Chains A and B, each alone.
Chain A
Amino acid sequence: MRYLPHSEAERAEMLHVAGANSIDDLFAVVPQKARLDGPLDLPDHQPEYQVENHLRTLGGKNLAAGDGPFFVGAGAYRHHVPASVDHLIQRSEWLTAYTPYQPEISQGTLQMLFEFQTQVANLTGMDVANASMYDGSTATAEAVLMARRLTRRNKIFLSGGLHPQYRDVVRTYVDEDDDLVCLDASPEGQGDIIDHIDETTAAVVVQTPDFYGHLRDIKSLAEAAHEKGALVIIVVTEIISLGLLEAPAALGADIVVAEGQSIGNALNFGGPYVGLMATRQKFIRQMPGRLCGETVDAEGKRGFVLTLSTREQHIRREKATSNICTNSGLCALAFSIHMSLLGEAGLTRLARLNHSRACALADALAAVPGVELLNKTFFNEMTVRLSKPAVEVVEVLAGQNILAGVPVSRLEPGKPELANLLVIAATELTSDDDIAALVSALREALS
C-alpha cells in the first residue's frame, strides 16, 4: 500500500494554485496513447528464488555482444575498454564523479572535467567544450536550440544522413513545425542540404561519417551556410573516427556534438553514454551545460571552478540556456582516462586499426553474391543493399550466433526502399574469423 501524506484538502489547494481541476489535468501534455489506462499486466508476486530463476531463464535468451561475431554499430560501438579504465574510475577519489553542487571543494572532480573538456576541444579542434551532455542525440537537440538562440532564426535542416534516432530526439525537443525540416534518408550519401539554405536558416545539422557510413563533404556546405549567416552543426557518432579524419573545426563547424561512448565506455545496453559538445569561443554564453574553468586562488595557486554558471538553470531559472543542470560525470571520467591512456598517437593507431578492419570487411562483402556495398567512402561502418529484406537476414544469422548489423528499417520503419539495407560496423575487435563467419553465413542466407 502506498503512503501518500497529502490530504484531499491539500491536494485540492495545490491543484487550485496550479490552475488544474484534477491530477490528470497535469498530465494533459502526455499523448493519450502513451498513457496507462489500467494496472500493468504483470503476474502476482512470487518468491524471490522463483523470480531469480525466471529472470535467469530470460537472460539466457540473450546473445551478448561478445558471444559471437558482432557487426552492430549505428551509433553504439563495441570497442576494447582496457581493464585499467574500470579500475581507475572505481577509485574512491572518483566515486562522486557526479557534478558537484559545492564545486570548489571538489578540486579533483573539477580538474578531471577540465581535462575532459580540453580533450574534447583538441579532438574537435574547437575553442571550447563543455563538461558533457547526456548523449550524442540530446547534445544534437541542444545544439539546434543553441543555434536558434545565436542566430535568432528558426529554420533548421537535418541531413538525411543524420542518425534517425538523433533526428527523432531533435523532433522531441523542438516544436515540430515547418521550421524543422528533416530531409529524406540519403543512404547513398547524396548531398542534400546545400540547395535549401537561405537567409532564414538558423542551422544545418550534418553527420560525418553519416549514419550510413559515408564521409560527408562538409566544407562546401559550410561555405554555403556561412554565406547566408547560418550555422553548421556537425554530428559525430563514432568519436574514434577523429583519430584519422580532419577535425570538424577545420571543416567549418560552428557547433560540434558527438557521442563519446566509443572511448572508455562499454555498450551498456544503450546507455548511460556521454554527449560531447564544443563550439567557438564567441558562442560560449549560449552553450548549454556545465563548464569548468581554470583559475588561480588568492595565493596564486592553480585551481578549478565551475564558470559561467549564470547561463544555467540554478541561477538563470527559466531563462537558462537549457534545463540540463548536470553532466555524464562517470562516463566522461571513463572517456578521459581511456583517452589519456591512448594519447594522441594511440588514438591515431586505434583509428587506423578500425579503418583497416572495415576495409577487410568491405573487401570480403564485395565478393558475396546478393550484397551490394553502397559506400565509396567509410571509416569503420558501411551500408550494404541485400537481395532480401535485411530484418529477415539478420534474424537468420542471429540464429547462428552472428549479429550481422542493424537493418535500416528498424530505425526507419514503413519505408520499403530502405528495407533491404543493412548498416554494418567493424572495430579493432573484429577478427578475420568473424568476417569469414559473416561472409559464409550471408552466402548461405542470400542464396
Chain B
Amino acid sequence: MTTKYSEDHEYIRLEGTDGTVGISNFAQGQLGDIVFVELPAVGTTFKKGDEAAVVESVKAASEIYTPVSGTITAVNDALDGEPALVNADAEGAGWLFKLSVSDPSELDGLMDEKTYASHNE
C-alpha cells in the first residue's frame, strides 16, 4: 500500500488499482474547521485534475481535484453528519472518496510522502 500526494494537497492511497482519496493532514490544518463536504456520485468518471468534491471550512470552500483519472466506487457517507472527521483524521477516517484508477501511469507524476513533506516546508 502506497500513498501519493498532489500539488493541490490531495492524497491517494493505493491498493492495486483501487485508490482512496482525501486531503492531506497539512491541508486540513490550513483550512481550519471543516463544516461541510460535498461528494461526487458513485459511478462518475473523472479525468485527472477534474473537480470531484468540495470541502468547506469556516474560512473557505475548496474544490478537490482527482489526483489521477478514474471512476468513483465509494464515497465517505460518514462525512455527511460529521464533516469534522476530516480535521480529526484527514488521512484515515476522514477520506473523501474511492476510485478505481484507469491510468496507473499518472501516479508517477505525484509525490511520495517525503517529497510532499519537503514541498510544504
Contacts and interface: CB of A to CB of B under 8 A. Distances in A.
A and B part of one assembly: yes
Interface of A: 152, 285, 310-311, 315-316, 319
13 contacts: A152-B41, A285-B38, A285-B56, A310-B36, A310-B56, A310-B60, A310-B61, A311-B61, A315-B60, A315-B61, A316-B61, A319-B54, A319-B61
Contacts of B33: none
Contacts of A316: 61
A238 B54 CA distance: 38
Nearest to B41: A152
Contacts, number: 15
Interface in B45-78: 54, 56, 60-61, 63
Nearest to B35: A310
Interface of B: 36, 38, 41, 54, 56, 60-61, 63
A151 to B, nearest CB: 10
By secondary structure, the A interface counts as helix
B60 to A, nearest CB: 7
Contacts of B36: 285, 310
A149 to B, nearest CB: 10
Contacts of A152: 41
Does more than half of chain B's interface fall in helix, strand or loop, or is it mixed?
strand
A285 B36 CA distance: 9
Nearest to B40: A152
A129 B38 CA distance: 21
A285 B38 CA distance: 9
Given A310-B60, A315-B61, 7 more contacts: A152-B41, A285-B36, A285-B56, A310-B56, A310-B61, A315-B60, A319-B54
Contacts of B54: 319
Most B Cβ at <10 Å: residue of A285, A310, A311, A316: A310
Residue from B38, B54, B56, B61 with most neighbouring chain A CB atoms (10 Å): B61
Given A285-B36, A285-B38, A319 B63 contact: yes
Contacts of B60: 310, 315
A316 B61 CA distance: 7
A315 B59 CA distance: 9
Nearest to A316: B61
A60 to B, nearest CB: 55
A341 B10 CA distance: 54
A315 B56 CA distance: 11
Give 9 nearest A-B pairs by CB, closest first.
A310-B61, A310-B56, A316-B61, A285-B36, A152-B41, A319-B63, A315-B60, A310-B60, A315-B61
A310 B35 CA distance: 11
B101 to A, nearest CB: 23
A366 to B, nearest CB: 54
A153 to B, nearest CB: 11
B44 to A, nearest CB: 9
A152 B42 CA distance: 12
B1 to A, nearest CB: 32
A444 to B, nearest CB: 63
A288 to B, nearest CB: 14
Nearest to A310: B61
Nearest to A311: B61
A310 B56 CA distance: 7
B53 to A, nearest CB: 12
Nearest to B59: A310
A97 to B, nearest CB: 28
A152 to B, nearest CB: 6
A310 to B, nearest CB: 4
Nearest to A152: B41
A299 to B, nearest CB: 20
A285 B55 CA distance: 12
